[in-house]
Chain A
Amino acid sequence: MSFLRPLPARALLAAALCACAPAEAPSRSTTPHANLIATAPPADPFAEHEASARSPIDAPVARHPPPTLIRHATVLTAAGKRYEPGFVLLKYGSIAAVGAGDGPSTPEGTVVVDAKGQFVTPGIIDPHSHIGVYPVPKTVAHDDGNELIDPLTASARAEDSFWPQDPAIERAVAGGVTTIGVLPGSGNLIGGRGVVLHLVPERGARAMRFPGAPEILKMACGENPKRTYREQKRAPASRMGNLRLLRDAFVKAQKYVRDWETWTKKQRAQAAGKESAPPTQASARPGSDGDSKPPDRDLALETLALVLRGDILVEWHCYQADDMLAALAVADEFGFKVRAFHHALEAYKIRDVLARRGIAVATWDDWWGFKMEAYDGIPENAALLTEAGARAAMHSDSPVAIQILNQAASKALVAGRAAGVKLDEDDAIRWLTANAAWVLGIEDQVGTLEVGKRADVVVWNRHPLSTYARAMRVYIDGRLVFDANQPEPPWSDFELGIRRP
């Protein structure tokens, strides 16, 4: 009866990975797409499928903004250093130099920005946004954030719902935000894939894709899924129902992995046999071709299979400490990692567990109380997590809050300090940038002002942790996308003829 006992997930996946991934494959955490598309061997069926779903139609266009030197500013690097006065040199879309003093002498053609009295930070990253999938104005036609026909819709993609004309995009940029993680809503246990976008005016989400960002999956526990489907007189109707359906889904995903693995092995064995020996009577027999028919493709299970393999980052909406612990039990059972809990208002209660496991928390400063699972939120959440050695990030989940995320970090910093947590300004900036980048798996590319990182940079008129601070200039990949002193026609086609200067 040993065949009935499920294989330990890790062993199974290790076998699957050994079978198809080359040893020299680049680290997934830095260049996941390269892994999935460019270097994955054709023998990995999931990678092939991923690649085929990534049509290059309307891909990001490389631009060549002039080199820009921002100087005489206070530079907050989010990497432990503060330069006052300092400079940042943006060149070829990257940060070419950053440091104290006036900066290097600049060749002709360099735009020099005198930012005396102003502050420079990395672009803010909001790891939890529904901009574009729940756009403004609220309309029935654009209510595209939740696929509430089934609690498990892993194959849905936020990218396919994203409305690039959402007027909230430009307003987020005016708040100093350069990158967002757009997620499906939380009505489903597995809502579907999110997408990491650069906030640039484009015709579609594909052109806004953050280059090289990993795939992310939105999951949800607690009240939302069970309430949504209970109202429909369907499962899940309870927390245990949530977990039951989730386990069932991952059991199916395990079988899916096994089926493909078996088929792949057979294919290889057959190929090897054909090469080494002339066809035998048996293999030439009609009917044996049945074995070469691949298992049916299931895009939802394929997504979960990639989660099991660690190729998709799990972004899990969870409020209560006990719900997060239950979620982690499922993750352990099936051998996958949770990248971050989102909202996680009770994360402070289990901060030791989260720190030990390296799980990040994307949360608010003090948005709480609106439902039972949000009742125990406290403003010191991010501070206590940071103190415990866990990664905390600020998120908005709102087109209003995204405009003042800098104030959120400031409030969380003040609350933490009042509670006796030792925090500095750099910690608060990191909540907005470096840690938020880690939540989305793009920490090697953005989140700090360091040489070689993407030139996603904000110039503020005063200290960004002040209530009165405004983003004056916002750069994405070295390109000036927002200038508070140069009002331009609205980005959104929708607002043409409506918005006034």
Chain B
Amino acid sequence: MRAPARCIGLAIALGSTAIPARAEPPAPVVIEHAKVYLPGDRAPLEDGTVVLAGGAILSVGAAGAIPAGARTLDARGKVVTAGLIDADCDVGVVDVEHEPQANDTDVREALTPALRMADAYNPLSVLVPVARSGGVTSAVVAPRRGLLGGRSLFANLAGESASEAVVRPALAQYAHLDEESGQAATGTRGAMWLVIREALEDARFYATHKPQYDANGARQLSLHRAGLEALLPVVRGEEPLVIEAHRASDIETALLLADEFRLRLVLSGASEAWMVAGEIARRKVPVIVDPLEDLPERFDRLHARPDNAALLSRNGVSVIIATFSAYGVRLLWQHAGNAVRMGLDHDAALRAITEAPADAFGLRGYGRIEPAAVGNVVVWSGDPFLTSTQVEHVFVRGREQPLQTRQTLLLQRYRNLPVERAAAR
């Protein structure tokens, strides 16, 4: 059983508190004798020690002072990685996908660049602990559709309040230029790109003509003020524009658009990216993929293939792996593991769910085990990509998180039949 009894006590205690009090700082933790995965191309430490204190990683390696009052965790035979980052998912904005009131991803307008997913984020969603139970400690929660769908958030998957959980409320802007969203909204591929180009041009114009705009002296623009404001950091090259595109020619168009507007581009979906890997690598554009989406599912991805991630990585592209899901976030390891199955280097796959998303979105201190990094750390019973591996400990900002979920409670209740509920006793 994975649900320790103490978790239940914690849940009850939290449930009875109307406004959660700020928790005491976590006691320092020393994780020792573990196989520790390090950032970059460095080989993992085979008998490594990681010290967590004050919510951060204090030290990594054999040496290092042990803080007073530290708890020691013998992780002999275990694997320690940075907490996984799902670079595109719906955790915290969906509880039940098919129930409109429990799904905050279903934006109906095509142009909502000012929309902020952070305004919808619910840190108490039952899906947050589920995601965490798969070793995912933080997530990028992104608009699911829209030609310019709005801005994603970056959150730690812990904490009682949104302000505690959300690290970056406006992380990146999203343009879904796939068949299902972009092309469907405009009718044709050309019109889809036209809308994006027009919006970016208008944002650029607005950036230099604010006084005229305020005095009603500017030409007609394709977006309202809030939308133009939201696009300013994009046209300034400060905020990433994540373009979901699948067809190789659409990806080429995205690259040219990024050249022209000097965008900080991140590609997403990118089923046919392997066909233009060289161009992507040359521009150092990171690519977010789901290795399980390997079918020629639509006409914009007839060349989809299961080794897309492997081919991109081999050609020098920084590959990021995401689940693009709500319930499946906890399976991020499996998405990455399947990329390995299809030829992606094991350590590159691990980077694809830790450092690579952190680097692509400028999330300093995330996704890596190194001194001063955020204390998001996972202890696994073995290779994180194997089905047989269990998540044993999850730390978010240095605090160990319960592995209990609503599902483990269901298991507990139904472990033995008949179920005896209080009223029937």
Among residues of A, the one whose C-beta sits closest to the C-beta of B385 is A467
Docked CA distance A465–B2 (Å): 21
A369→B297 contact, CB < 8 A: no
Q: How many residues of A contact B (CB 8 A)?
A: 49
Asked if A3 is at the interface (CB within 8 A of a chain B CB), the reply is: no
* A418-B1, A467-B334, A467-B341 known; A400-B295 Cβ under 8 A: yes
Asked if B12 is at the interface (CB within 8 A of a chain A CB), the reply is: no
A403→B294 contact, CB < 8 A: yes
Among residues of A, the one whose C-beta sits closest to the C-beta of B180 is A138
A380→B296 contact, CB < 8 A: no
Within 8 A of A (CB), among B284-327: 292-299, 301-303, 306, 326-327
**CB neighbours of A411 from chain B (8 A):** 334, 387
Docked CA distance A467–B410 (Å): 27
* A348-B414, A376-B410 known; A167-B295 Cβ under 8 A: yes
Asked if B415 is at the interface (CB within 8 A of a chain A CB), the reply is: yes
Within 8 A of B (CB), among A106-156: 136-139
A137→B410 contact, CB < 8 A: no
Among residues of B, the one whose C-beta sits closest to the C-beta of A494 is B296
**CB neighbours of A167 from chain B (8 A):** 295-296
Task: State which of B95-103, B114-122, B208-216, B261-269 sits at the interface with chain A.
Answer: B95-103
Q: Which of B98, B296, B407, B419 contacts A498 (CB 8 A)?
A: B296
Looking at chain B's contact residues, is the secondary structure mostly helix, strand, loop, or mixed? Answer: loop
Asked if B338 is at the interface (CB within 8 A of a chain A CB), the reply is: yes
Q: Which of B292, B299, B327, B334 contacts A369 (CB 8 A)?
A: B327
Q: B159 → chain A, closest Cβ, in Å?
A: 22
- Complex interface bits, A472-501 against B, C-beta within 8 A gives 1, otherwise 0: 000000000000000000000001001110
B294→A400 contact, CB < 8 A: yes
Asked if A470 is at the interface (CB within 8 A of a chain B CB), the reply is: yes
Q: B135 → chain A, closest Cβ, in Å?
A: 14
Q: A110 → chain B, closest Cβ, in Å?
A: 32
B387→A168 contact, CB < 8 A: no
* A367-B327, A371-B99 known; A379-B407 Cβ under 8 A: yes
A495→B386 contact, CB < 8 A: no
**CB neighbours of B415 from chain A (8 A):** 384, 419-420
A498→B387 contact, CB < 8 A: no
Within 8 A of B (CB), among A414-431: 414, 418-420
Asked if A349 is at the interface (CB within 8 A of a chain B CB), the reply is: yes
Q: How many residues of B contact A (CB 8 A)?
A: 39
Among residues of B, the one whose C-beta sits closest to the C-beta of A376 is B410
- Complex interface bits, B396-409 against A, C-beta within 8 A gives 1, otherwise 0: 00000000000100
Docked CA distance A378–B302 (Å): 34
Q: A57 → chain B, closest Cβ, in Å?
A: 30
B292→A400 contact, CB < 8 A: yes
**CB neighbours of A377 from chain B (8 A):** 407
Docked CA distance A499–B99 (Å): 38
Q: A51 → chain B, closest Cβ, in Å?
A: 38
Docked CA distance A293–B294 (Å): 57
Asked if B18 is at the interface (CB within 8 A of a chain A CB), the reply is: no
Docked CA distance A171–B297 (Å): 12
* A352-B417, A399-B295 known; A498-B334 Cβ under 8 A: no
* A371-B97, A379-B407, A414-B387 known; A469-B327 Cβ under 8 A: no
B299→A137 contact, CB < 8 A: yes
Asked if A368 is at the interface (CB within 8 A of a chain B CB), the reply is: yes
Q: Which of A351, A366, A468 contacts B337 (CB 8 A)?
A: A468
Docked CA distance A399–B294 (Å): 10
**CB neighbours of B99 from chain A (8 A):** 371-372
* A137-B299, A371-B98, A371-B99 known; A410-B388 Cβ under 8 A: yes
Asked if A404 is at the interface (CB within 8 A of a chain B CB), the reply is: yes
Asked if B245 is at the interface (CB within 8 A of a chain A CB), the reply is: no
Docked CA distance A256–B414 (Å): 43
Docked CA distance A372–B100 (Å): 11
**CB neighbours of A448 from chain B (8 A):** none
Asked if B136 is at the interface (CB within 8 A of a chain A CB), the reply is: no
A466→B295 contact, CB < 8 A: no
Which among A371, A372, A468 has the highest number of chain B CB atoms within 10 Å? A468
Docked CA distance A352–B295 (Å): 39
B295→A136 contact, CB < 8 A: yes
Docked CA distance A448–B5 (Å): 41
Asked if B369 is at the interface (CB within 8 A of a chain A CB), the reply is: no
Asked if A407 is at the interface (CB within 8 A of a chain B CB), the reply is: yes
Docked CA distance A420–B411 (Å): 11
Q: Please give 7 more A-B residue pairs, beta carbons under 8 A apart, in addition to A137-B302, A371-B96, A467-B340.
A: A137-B296, A369-B127, A372-B96, A378-B407, A400-B293, A420-B1, A420-B415
Q: What are 21 A-B pairs with beta-carbon distances under 8 A?
A: A136-B296, A136-B297, A137-B302, A139-B299, A171-B294, A349-B419, A370-B97, A372-B99, A378-B407, A384-B415, A403-B306, A404-B292, A410-B388, A413-B387, A419-B1, A419-B411, A420-B1, A467-B337, A468-B337, A469-B341, A498-B302
Q: Which 10 A-B pairs have the closest CB atoms?
A: A371-B98, A410-B387, A467-B337, A369-B327, A370-B97, A378-B407, A136-B297, A468-B341, A136-B295, A411-B387
